[in-house]
Amino acid sequence: MPTDPTPGRSLITRRAVSDIVRAATLGSYGVTGFAAGPVERLAGLAGLAQPGVHLDLRDGLSIELDLTVAYGLPVAEVARQVESAVRYAVRRGLGREVDGLTIHVDGLRYQPGSAPPAVHADPTAIRPADLADSGTDVA
């Protein structure tokens, strides 16, 4: 990779920036998806918009994200992870710094298969406390 800057300029589309941000966000631990209203979802299905990602390229690069986070995880930690991942991906892919990054957590998503099963103890089963109380040496 050359280290000397070459004269000229490059043009990056809004869609390319949005794809970089989207990939970095969805790759972050705890993010279950992007939050969007019904109109924004329809525009996304039609290919007219990317729901949950709002870019402002007028005065630098400002990004606004609307996310859903997995239930049971610390929301602040997930947001810090997303911020770090997005800033790194933009810096690495575009060679620019992000001027502003706002993250809105619009909901928590509960995944039914993710909760551990409830343990129903058998009242006649021997428990570890029973062995300790019996005075028997257990190796």
Q: 27-57: per-residue pLDDT in tens?
A: 999 999 888 777 666 766 676 667 789 999 8
In CATH terms, 14-111 corresponds, of 3.90.550.10, 3.40.50.300, 3.40.50.620, 3.30.70.1350, to 3.30.70.1350
Domain ranges in the chain?
A: 14-111
The answer to whether 68 and 35 are in contact (CB under 8 A) is yes
Q: Quote the CA–CA distance of 94 and 63 in Å, as a whole number.
A: 14
Query: What distance lies between CA 92 and its chain's CA centroid?
Result: 18
- Model confidence at 84, pLDDT cuts 50, 70, 90, reads very high
Per-residue model confidence (pLDDT) at position 90: 95
Per-residue model confidence (pLDDT) at position 139: 47
Per-residue model confidence (pLDDT) at position 8: 77
